[in-house]
């Protein structure tokens, strides 16, 4: 359950170096070196000639009647040429290599005016009390609106609505439009998923649903979205989707993310949604005479804003008022061209109304919106508790909406021997900073919370403006099983602080008394012992596995010890030193009189999707996709271990493919199974004597686990992650348990039993989560009931999967 301890009111003292601003509520922090210095900021317009893409007659946009990708750049180039209100740039590349276009629409600004706008924007976050009482700022600050369009590639019309608005505002002679653009900046991510737009797919070219990626930012498209959400500081964010009838628009049902200043959000989010609904009625279409507002219309859990994986739920933690807008009419499928065009036209109108009505709301409530955005930051700087929102605060607000956390005073991410993985710690710090958080490093050893920490440890002062996103990423989370019977989607618990492999300590009442220096990226430095010694690498992170696989590829002799770590003889010092330089891994002296199993280069055949593919890439394994239909061609003699992460049923294979599988298993090929597919294959192939059980498909979250050690889990973190839990009973005598679910397994998330009482947490408590065995034919078999692969989410579990692959490949 969520820990609810009151923070002490005693003031902690923060010592700072002369060149670093203090992390106090009334102090201006140093500007990140990654930010453009105010003096270098140019005025508007900032126009660029966008490269034009060749004509693509196969673009899936064309049959829908919306703009094909190759026509976007020419249209933006023409609008820039025609209007000084439009500034367009290529802001990055998609996974498939397409240009990502960001367009700013505003009245022209001189260099001095643009620099003043930037100072005001930074002041709202850095000095919110001063900002919200600055009369000139309140009069002249250009309030930002951010429109993110087409994040799901086959939900096209947001792009067309954005282009229509840009064209209208670029060319309009209406004095009201001129006034609007003097008082606002409109920022458009024109198509945030061009891969999917062209291909007609929901996912990007790498196969990922981008609207599930905002907590880990594994894709280039979401990296840009995060960058815009953090830098633009939009008052309102619109994420334009399709297709739900009637039009769906936020605010959402509970559960709400427990770190949100929800009182400052819902007071604006609901009335603006009602205004958009009225605007849809005014369109006059029968299909737009009502809207679905989940907060008003749905039961808890139907369309929630709990995990910050979506653009709106992430943006809410950035002090924006965000909306998912789901246009009502699906233009895909077996429809006439005229009907497709009619539907896409109505959808474009719907999104245009959402943009226009949101701008109206900003103009009508301008000072209060600026005040409330600054108030989010002020509360963060001051370390104030979240507000108790009374029933009826807005129509429909009740006890079911009350989701709050208690903020600790600070976190410490230790350095040195106190840290489980220096690489994981640096990765976590990068995530916090990239998400808008602030992190410091200690300039000397210090003591806090009854522990001693070495110089270089990271300190996260929770008295900071964007404490909501920082705490959402670091805190364990809450078990919400008893509060809701449904969820829109998982994960219901995430905690990169617990699942990314770094040691993170919570200080509830204390800010360390130590000189701190603000940092802007995570730092990890490898270590190589001096003198003549053999070298041990204790695999606790994906970077360690990459180093091992690189060494094998380079021809080094690498030995796996019984505890899963590896040793490389000192004669390969040059190669080991290169891996330290490349991957910043920490190498130790090998134990005296060590004994291990010589490893070969490991080739993994995998049955699974893009997440399996990319997890193997992250860990440096040579990987080969295997499907039930291609076993004969892909499961060849050089495959050392088969990773089963989706259905592979020997009974349904063709004779040729079954023969290939039998030959592989007959020569002792290893098998690692995950999710429900792994144990199903193990049972069907007669490889391991266990009975597998699974929880409901929606069960997800952060788990308490007990590691018993061995080649897979020696040194592993005491927490894990599930996205449908699996556990094992009825273990054969030859089965070894390396990890079990704790007596109280679910630390944070949602995991209810089925209607008949099966599949619940009580059934999994104390049962095996990771097991291994060796068959009479020499097949090393590992089954993993937690989830080290799901959406690349739980990076701290990748080392366990890699260790399992190494063990199974050589058993």
Q: Do the domain assignments include residue 524?
A: no
- The single residue listed with the structure tokens 């600054």 is 374
Q: Do the domain assignments include residue 527?
A: no
Q: Which of 519, 543, 567 is the last residue of a domain?
A: 519
Q: With contact defined as beta carbons under 8 Å apart, do 781 and 688 qualify?
A: yes
Q: With contact defined as beta carbons under 8 Å apart, do 389 and 431 qualify?
A: no
Run of H or E including 549 = helix 542-553
Same domain, 669 and 762: yes
Closest-CA residue to 798 (of 622, 542, 606)? 542
Residue 36 has a pLDDT of 83
Run of H or E including 237 = strand 236-242
The tokens of 40 are what?
Answer: 């270098």
Same domain, 500 and 546: no
Same domain, 132 and 179: yes
Q: With contact defined as beta carbons under 8 Å apart, do 123 and 163 qualify?
A: no
Phi-psi domain of 64 (left: phi exceeds 0; alpha: psi -120 through 50; beta: other): alpha
Rg, C-alpha atoms of the chain: 27
Q: What is the pTM of this model?
A: 0.95
Instruction: Indicate the number of domains in the chain.
Output: 4
Give me the torsion for CA of 511, 715, 538, 600, rounded to 10°.
Answer: -150
Same domain, 447 and 499: yes
Same domain, 608 and 715: yes
Run of H or E including 199 = helix 194-199
Count of CB atoms within 10 A of residue 46's CB?
15
Burial of 692 (0-12, 13-18, 19+ CB in 10 A): buried
Q: How far apart are CA 582 and CA 28, in angstroms?
A: 37
Same domain, 607 and 590: no
Q: With contact defined as beta carbons under 8 Å apart, do 143 and 369 qualify?
A: yes
Same domain, 154 and 299: yes
Same domain, 484 and 575: no
Same domain, 512 and 578: no
Run of H or E including 706 = strand 700-707
Q: With contact defined as beta carbons under 8 Å apart, do 620 and 549 qualify?
A: yes
Q: Do the domain assignments include residue 230?
A: yes
Same domain, 140 and 110: yes
What is residue 769's three-state secondary structure? strand
Q: Do the domain assignments include residue 651?
A: yes
Q: What is the 3-state secondary structure (H, E, C) of 273-302?
A: HHHHHHHHHHHCCHHHCCEECHHHHCCCCC
Q: Do the domain assignments include residue 660?
A: yes
CB contact set of 495 (below 8 Å; sequence gap of 6+): 473, 474, 475, 476, 477, 702, 719, 748
Q: How far apart are CA 356 and CA 353, in angstroms?
A: 5
Closest-CA residue to 616 (of 802, 770, 803)? 802
Domain that holds residue 590: 535-598
Q: How far apart are CA 98 and CA 104, in angstroms?
A: 20
Residue 34 has a pLDDT of 56
Q: How far apart are CA 713 and CA 727, in angstroms?
A: 16
Q: How distant, in Å, are the alpha carbons of 367, 500, 639, 775, 807 from that of 803?
A: 56, 16, 17, 19, 6
Same domain, 621 and 485: no
Query: Domain of 236: which CATH number?
Result: 3.40.630.10
Residue 32 has a pLDDT of 58
Q: Do the domain assignments include residue 659?
A: yes
Is the omega angle on the peptide bond into residue 243 within 30 degrees of 0, that is, cis? Answer: yes
Same domain, 689 and 540: no
Angle at 748 between CA 745 and CA 752, to 5 degrees: 65
β-bridge mates for residue 62, sequence order: none
Q: Which positions of the chain have pLDDT values less than 70?
A: 1-34
The tokens of 31 are what?
Answer: 């500007």
Q: How far apart are CA 478 and CA 425, in angstroms?
A: 23
The tokens of 533 are what?
Answer: 């010694």
Q: How far apart are CA 542 and CA 799, in angstroms?
A: 5
Q: Do the domain assignments include residue 296?
A: yes
Q: Which of 598, 613, 645 is the last residue of a domain?
A: 598
Q: How far apart are CA 572 and CA 588, in angstroms?
A: 14
What is residue 108's three-state secondary structure? coil
Residue 755 has a pLDDT of 87
Residue 14 has a pLDDT of 34
pLDDT tens digits along 557-584: 999 999 999 999 999 999 999 999 999 9
Q: How far apart are CA 808 and CA 811, in angstroms?
A: 5
The tokens of 433 are what?
Answer: 């900073």
Q: Do the domain assignments include residue 44?
A: no
Query: Domain of 758: which CATH number?
Result: 3.40.50.880
Q: How far apart are CA 175 and CA 409, in angstroms?
A: 50
Run of H or E including 148 = strand 143-149
The tokens of 610 are what?
Answer: 């893009």
Q: With contact defined as beta carbons under 8 Å apart, do 69 and 191 qualify?
A: yes
């Amino acid at each position: 359950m969520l820990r609810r301890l009151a923070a002490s009111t005693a003031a902690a003292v923060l010592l700072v170096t002369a060149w670093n601003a203090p992390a106090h509520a009334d102090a201006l922090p140093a500007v990140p070196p990654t930010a453009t210095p105010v003096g270098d900021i140019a005025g508007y317009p900032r126009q660029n000639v966008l490269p034009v893409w060749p004509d693509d007659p196969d673009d899936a946009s064309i049959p829908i009647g919306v703009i094909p990708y190759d026509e976007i750049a020419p249209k933006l180039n023409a609008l820039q040429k025609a209007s000084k209100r439009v500034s367009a740039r290529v802001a990055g590349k998609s996974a498939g290599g397409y240009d990502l276009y960001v367009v700013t629409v505003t009245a022209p600004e001189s260099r001095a005016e643009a620099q003043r706008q930037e100072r005001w924007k930074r002041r709202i976050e850095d000095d919110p009390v001063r900002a919200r009482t600055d009369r000139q700022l309140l009069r002249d600050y250009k309030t930002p609106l951010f429109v993110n369009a087409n994040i799901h590639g086959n939900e096209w019309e947001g792009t067309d609505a954005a282009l229509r608005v840009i064209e209208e505002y670029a060319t309009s002679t209406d004095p009201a439009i001129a006034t609007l653009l003097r008082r606002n900046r409109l920022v458009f991510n024109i198509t945030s998923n061009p891969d999917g737009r062209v291909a007609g797919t929901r996912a990007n070219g790498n196969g990922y649903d981008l609207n599930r990626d905002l907590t880990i930012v594994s894709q280039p498209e979401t990296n840009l979205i995060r960058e815009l959400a953090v830098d633009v500081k939009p008052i309102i964010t619109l994420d334009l989707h399709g297709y739900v009838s009637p039009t769906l628009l936020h605010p959402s049902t509970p559960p709400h993310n427990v770190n949100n200043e929800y009182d400052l959000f819902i007071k604006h989010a609901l009335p603006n949604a009602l205004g958009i609904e009225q605007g849809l009625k005014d369109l006059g279409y029968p299909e737009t005479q009502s809207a679905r507002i989940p907060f008003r219309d749905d039961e808890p859990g139907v369309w929630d804003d709990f995990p910050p994986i979506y653009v709106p739920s992430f943006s809410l933690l950035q002090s924006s008022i965000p909306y998912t807008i789901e246009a009502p009419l699906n233009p895909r499928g077996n429809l006439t061209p005229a009907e497709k065009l009619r539907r896409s036209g109505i959808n474009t109108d719907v999104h245009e109304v959402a943009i226009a009505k949101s701008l109206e709301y900003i103009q009508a409530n301008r000072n209060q919106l600026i005040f409330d955005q600054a108030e989010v930051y002020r509360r963060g700087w001051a370390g104030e508790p979240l507000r108790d929102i009374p029933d009826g605060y807005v129509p429909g607000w009740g006890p079911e909406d009350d989701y709050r956390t208690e903020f600790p005073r600070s976190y410490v991410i230790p350095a040195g021997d106190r840290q489980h993985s220096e690489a994981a710690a640096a990765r976590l710090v990068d995530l916090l900073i990239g998400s808008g958080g602030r992190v410091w490093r200690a300039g000397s050893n210090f003591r806090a919370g009854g522990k001693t920490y070495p110089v270089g440890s990271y300190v996260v002062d929770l008295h900071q403006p964007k404490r909501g996103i920082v705490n959402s990423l670091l805190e364990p989370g809450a078990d919400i099983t008893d509060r809701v019977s449904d969820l829109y989607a998982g994960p219901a618990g995430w905690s990169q602080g617990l699942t990314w492999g770094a040691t993170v300590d919570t200080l509830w009442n204390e800010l360390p008394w130590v000189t701190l220096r603000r940092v802007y990226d995570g730092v990890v430095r490898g270590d190589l012992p001096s003198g003549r010694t053999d070298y041990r690498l204790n695999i606790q992170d994906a970077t360690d596995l990459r180093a091992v696989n690189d060494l094998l590829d380079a021809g080094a002799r690498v030995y796996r010890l019984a505890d899963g770590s590896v040793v490389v003889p000192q004669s390969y010092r040059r190669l080991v030193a290169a891996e330290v330089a490349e991957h910043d891994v920490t190498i130790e002296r090998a134990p005296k009189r060590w004994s291990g199993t010589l490893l070969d280069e490991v080739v993994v055949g995998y049955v699974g999707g893009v997440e399996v593919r990319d997890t193997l890439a992250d860990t440096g394994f040579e990987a080969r996709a295997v499907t039930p239909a291609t076993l004969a061609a892909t499961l060849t003699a050089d495959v050392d271990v088969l990773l089963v992460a989706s259905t592979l049923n020997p009974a349904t294979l063709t004779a040729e493919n079954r023969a290939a599988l039998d030959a592989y298993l007959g020569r002792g090929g290893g098998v690692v199974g995950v999710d429900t597919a792994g144990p199903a294959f193990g049972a069907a192939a007669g490889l391991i004597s266990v009975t597998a059980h699974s929880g409901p498909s929606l069960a997800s979250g952060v788990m308490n686990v007990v590691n018993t050690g061995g080649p897979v889990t020696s040194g592993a973190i005491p927490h894990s992650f599930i996205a449908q839990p699996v556990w094992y009973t009825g273990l054969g005598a030859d089965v070894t348990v390396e990890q079990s679910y704790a007596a109280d397994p679910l630390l944070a998330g949602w995991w209810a039993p089925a209607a008949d009482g099966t599949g619940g947490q009580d059934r999994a408590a104390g049962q095996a989560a990771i097991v291994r065995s060796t068959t009479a034919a020499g097949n090393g078999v590992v089954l993993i009931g937690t989830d080290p692969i799901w959406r690349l989410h739980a990076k701290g579990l990748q080392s366990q999967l890699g260790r399992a692959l190494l063990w199974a490949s050589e058993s």
